[in-house]
Structure 1
Amino acid sequence: MTSPSIAMIGAGSTVFAKNLLGDILSFPELAHADIRLFDINQERLDVTEQVAHRVAKAAQATPTVTATTDRDRALDGADFVINMIQVGGYQPATVTDFEVPKQFGLRQTIADTLGIGGIMRGLRTIPVLVDMSRDMERLCPDTLHLNYVNPMAMNIWGLSRQSAIRTVGLCHSVQHTAEELARDLGLPASEIDYLCAGINHMAFYLKFEHQGQSLYPRLMDLAESGQVPATNRVRYEMLRRLGYFVTESSEHFSEYVPYFIKRGREDLIERFGVPLDEYPRRCVAQIGGWEELRVKLQNPDEPLEVKRSVEYGSLIIHSMVTGQPRVVYGNVMNSPTVGSGKLISNLPDECCVEVPCLVDRQGVQPTRIGRLPPQLAGLMQTNINVQALTVEALVTGKREHIYHAAMLDPHTSAELDLDQIWALVDALLAQHGAFIPQALQAAD
């Protein structure tokens, strides 16, 4: 595999594709890779194709670049498949996930991982990923599927129940948060040593050290002082209560628990700086700036910055091609193979966990962590319950499990009574229509 073939699914996500391409092509061993760009949006795909050639030139690389709206062509014989799709897009799907719950008094911040928005995103995304995996089984059965698509844990879990394709879920919350904490403490991020484990968007730093000394006393002092960054108040508050720092951002985390977003408690929203409707704001800003950005990206006279990102995708590909060992954080099943035992012993066998993984020519090899502190495992279980029932609804075709997932969701159940939860699920499923599998669309 001297020059691997890499399929990028959802390549119309131009900026993310640009960053990943810059990472990949900056390695001399990957400079001649066979890059296949796939998207269902021809216009966005055309832009990414042009950007790919500009990235290659800036990196002094000579890849083969193919852009296609034919998924079979992109996948055929691919050594690696990088997935970055968004089923339903901002319009209509994301708007529906925010606006319908508001009619019931349920407010959200990001709604892509858990909560009622995360449940709906999982219901419309997992079937598409499974359909893609069927194509991979037919066209590139030995590929490694690198999934960047949310809701991460539900997606990996749903795929594990329905496909044999090797898949690892990739997120940047672990490394981003480590950099944030280093800045808060005035230390170089490169000098921080950490160990992190849990579930995606709810993993915790079990160790966070500098030159062999734990930094938790300093982080706790900062939390107790109240002088924390305004955008991080939720996470520092959870550090005070749990004794460990969580990886995902405060805006995300605020909707995974029942403590911070409550009707009639605007004091909480203000005190902890919870940015309600944050994801729609970001989407509107990105859409509004797309035309100007597109012109810049396509203009050969406009400087194109190509620098290494913190994403793990290119590192995994490079390590598997060259054998250079690395450690990355990946989302995998807690019992990766039958009889292999659990990676995190006090979480369920059948759940998706985020743990450090060794990568070399043998592929992605997860690390066994053992027991998590019980308060962390207990909090994670509240999220795992929702993930499990959403996946179960899709695998079995039983609509009632969607209600059960919403019923057990920490934020939804803290805000709505049972009749409201049932009515909200019905309203969302009706609004999403064909994005939801037919077996789940009609009430029993």
Structure 2
Amino acid sequence: MSFKVTFIGAGSIGFTRGLLRDLLAVPEFHQVEIAFTDINEHHLQMVTELCQRDIEENELKIRIQSTVDRREALQNARYVICTIRVGGLEAFETDVDIPLKYGIDQCVGDTLCAGGIMYGQRGIAVMLDICRDIREVAEKDALLLNYANPMAMLTWACNQYGGVRTVGLCHGVQHGHEQIANVYGLKQEEVDIVCAGINHQTWYIQIKHQGKDLTAGLLEAFESHPDYARTEKVRIDMLRRFGYYSTESNGHLSEYVPWYRKRPEEIHEWIDLGSWINGETGGYLRVCTEGRNWFETDFPNWMKEPALEYAANHRSQEHGSYIIEGLETGRVYRGHFNMVNRGIIANLPADAIIEAPGYADGNGISMPIVGHLPLGPAAVCNTSISVQRLAVEAAVHGDDLLLRQAFMMDPLVGAVCNPKEIWQLVDEMLVAQEAWLPQYADAIAAAKVRLSSDKLLPVRAYEGAARLKVKTVEEMQLDREAANRNAGEADKGKERAVQK
């Protein structure tokens, strides 16, 4: 088979190298065309060099087309895999640090809350430019597989305003599935699940083993698990109060709802510092920073290490390659995809991006009807969907009033801040991220005037309840294996250690 796959944001070593391995592990795909593009020429060059070495070591004749010209990379592409982070770690730092001045303590800040909303403002404008290029130069009806966060917001904007078929992909469902099997002493493949909701707030509404329902005993199983009882306290409490387990990690979930991070003195009751993903303040920013610094410093050694093996038993659980395989070969793949709802989940809005079971095969991508979510989980999702809708419309139209309303409606921001504080917070974030927010030029000019006033609300220098320092390269050299895993994994929360 011969068709073209373009990776946008290919300078992301964690995603690009692993997804390419997954794709080229399919025997029928050994003749495909591969294009890499990124705005960072240095990162692009390093990742291209490493991936080209992998290809050659696997005795394939593919030559990666690597270019900073996005339209050139997209020419005649049938599939586009997007892993961009607009603003990079520089903007990400402001997503975490500015809200801390107002008492908003985030673990990740890339999906909801103050950081996720602003990440969406930066990303949506770029995603719509990408969609324009896809419409103009890629194959007709090219499929955009979006791995970039905030997943729901970006996928929503691409489908509603970008004019490109877009599917959002995430690995959260697979991880929770593995945990559920673990607490019952089973293998993941022995447990059948139906998981539905919205990205990072998807709920395991059906869990079965050999036809027997396991949902009823799940709370007791998690409460008695020696590790999860300490590392997943937020998820277990949500299970206790809403009746269903949620996909996202302890730290992620804690910042999507108003109850677990609103009082600094209570945060440590709900988190564990054995792994950043269990709730560390700014934890994802820290490990991303460490991964970038390590890869840039240690890259020559990566070229000396064994190449990735393109084999079926080395494929990850990331959905992307399996979807392409299903569409191209006709083999049936069942996964969980982020798609426009259109009635799949009856009690969530039709225009929202939902995450639910789907199938990819020679007939396309099909999403079965789920029906109604249980009322409690649906209520949690609907609150987040309101924030997402406001944030998408704000980003598309450069409407800072809608942006402020998105902040107002966000569960954790609203639990911590009053309206005046939110208005000033948005002003600060707009000004700090001016370089990536061209649609807000007028609003930013007005915000600068307000921030020059001597009547600003007081803020504080606050590091957060559970902030750890970024490791130096020298410190990371003490455990090269761990540093390599962190830099090389798309999923930087894969290993969830426990604090000793």
**Normalising by the residue count of structure 1, what TM-score does the alignment of the two structures yield?**
0.94
CA distance in 1, matches of 2:252, 2:199: 11
Match of 2:101 among 95, 100, 103: 103
Partner of 1:372: 373
* Structure 1 alignment gaps of length 5 or more: 336-341
Match of 2:491 in 1: none
Could you say if the C-alpha distance between residues 159 and 250 of structure 1 is closer, same or farther in structure 2, counting changes exceeding 3 Å? same
Kept in 2, the 8 Å contact 1:319–1:361? The answer is yes
- Per the alignment, residue 338 of structure 1 pairs with none
Q: Is the 8 A contact 2:124 2:396 kept in 1?
A: no
How many Å separate the matches in 2 of 1:226 and 1:176?
Answer: 16
Larger deviation, residues 421-430 vs 278-287: 278-287
1:293 Cα deviation after fit: 4.2
Residues 1:135 and 2:116 are matched in the alignment = no
**One-letter amino acid of the counterpart of residue 34, structure 2:** I
14-23 vs 112-121, which moves further: 14-23
Quote the residue 2:418 is aligned against: 417
Taking the aligned partners of 1:80 and 1:271, their CA distance within structure 2 comes to 41
Say whether the 8 Å CA contact 2:235–2:249 is kept in structure 1. Answer: yes
Task: In structure 2, list runs of 5 or more residues that go unmatched.
Answer: 273-278, 448-500
Instruction: State the 1:370 CA deviation.
Output: 1.0
Give the alignment partner of residue 441 of structure 1, picking from 441, 444, 448: 444
CA RMSD of aligned residues (A): 1.6
Q: Which secondary structure does the structure 1 equivalent of 2:64 belong to?
A: strand
The separation in 1 between residues aligned to 2:399 and 2:135, in whole angstroms, is 26
- Give the 3 Å change call, closer, same or farther, for CA 84–41 of structure 1 in structure 2: same
CA-CA distance at 1:82 after TM superposition: 0.3
Q: SS where residue 295 of structure 2 aligns?
A: helix
Letter in 2 for 1:276: T
What SS is found at the alignment partner of 2:232?
Answer: helix
Quote the offset at 1:218 in angstroms.
3.4
> Equivalent residue for 2:232?
232
Please show how residues 300-319 of structure 1 align to structure 2 within 5 Å: 302-306=305-309, 307-319=314-326
**Number of residue pairs matched by the alignment:** 433
Letter in 1 for 2:326: S
Would you say the 8 A contact 1:83–1:148 is kept in 2? Answer: yes
Q: 280, 288, 291: which one pairs with 1:275? A: 280
Stretch moving more, 162-171 or 217-226: 217-226
Q: Which deviates further from its counterpart, 235-244 or 268-277?
A: 268-277
Does residue 391 of structure 1 match 2:396? no
Deviation at 1:63, TM superposition (A): 2.3
1:83 counterpart = 2:79: no
Structure 2 residue identity aligned to 1:4:
F
**Match runs of 1:254-293 below 5 Å:** 254-264=254-264, 266-273=265-272, 274-293=279-298
Kindly indicate whether the alpha-carbon contact (under 8 Å) linking 1:356 and 1:367 is maintained by their aligned counterparts in 2: yes
Q: Residues 271 and 11 (structure 1 numbering): CA distance in 2 closer, same or farther, change over 3 Å?
A: closer
Q: Distance in 2 between matches of 1:199 and 1:360?
A: 23
Give matches, 1:158-307, under 5 Å: 158-225=157-224, 227-229=226-228, 230-264=230-264, 266-273=265-272, 274-299=279-304, 302-306=305-309, 307=314
Q: Counterparts of 1:350-369 in structure 2 under 5 Å?
A: 350-369=351-370
Give 1:336-351 correspondences, 5 Å limit.
342-351=343-352
Answer yes or no: is the 8 Å Cα contact 1:222–1:228 preserved in 2. Answer: no
Task: Map 1:396-411; keep pairs closer than 5 Å.
Answer: 396-411=397-412
Tell me whether 1:8 sits opposite 2:11 in the alignment. Answer: no
2:234–2:270: 8 Å Cα contact kept in structure 1?
A: no
Question: Which of 100, 111, 114 is the matching residue for 1:113?
Answer: 111
Task: Compare 401-410 and 160-169 and name the one that shifted more.
Answer: 160-169
Match of 1:322 in 2: 329
Which residue identity does 1:269 align to in structure 2? H
Distance 1:98 1:288 in 2: 19
Q: Percent identity?
A: 39
Separation (CA, whole Å) in 1 of partners of 2:51 and 2:266: 47
Do 1:21 and 1:55's aligned partners in 2 also have CA atoms closer than 8 Å? no
| Cα offset, 1:184, TM superposition | 2.9
SS of corresponding position for 1:310? coil
What is the identity, as a one-letter code, of the residue corresponding to 2:349? Answer: P
CA contact (8 A) 1:54 1:304 kept: yes
Separation (CA, whole Å) in 2 of partners of 1:63 and 1:289: 28
SS in structure 2 of the partner of residue 64 of structure 1: coil
Q: 1:43-89: CA deviations, max 9, x gaps? A: 21112212222322344433232111111111000010000010001
Measured after TM superposition, the shift of residue 197 of structure 1 is 0.6
- Choose 209-218 or 136-145, whichever is displaced more: 209-218
CA deviation after TM superposition for structure 1 residue 224, in Å: 4.3
What's the counterpart of residue 26 of structure 1? 25
Q: CA deviation at 1:314?
A: 0.5
Q: CA deviation at 1:328?
A: 1.7
Separation in 1 of the partners of 2:15 and 2:397? 34
**Partners of 1:402 and 1:325 in 2: CA distance:** 41
Query: Given that residues 4 and 33 in structure 1 are in contact (C-alpha distance below 8 angstroms), is that contact kept between their aligned partners in structure 2?
Result: yes
SS of residue paired to 1:7: strand
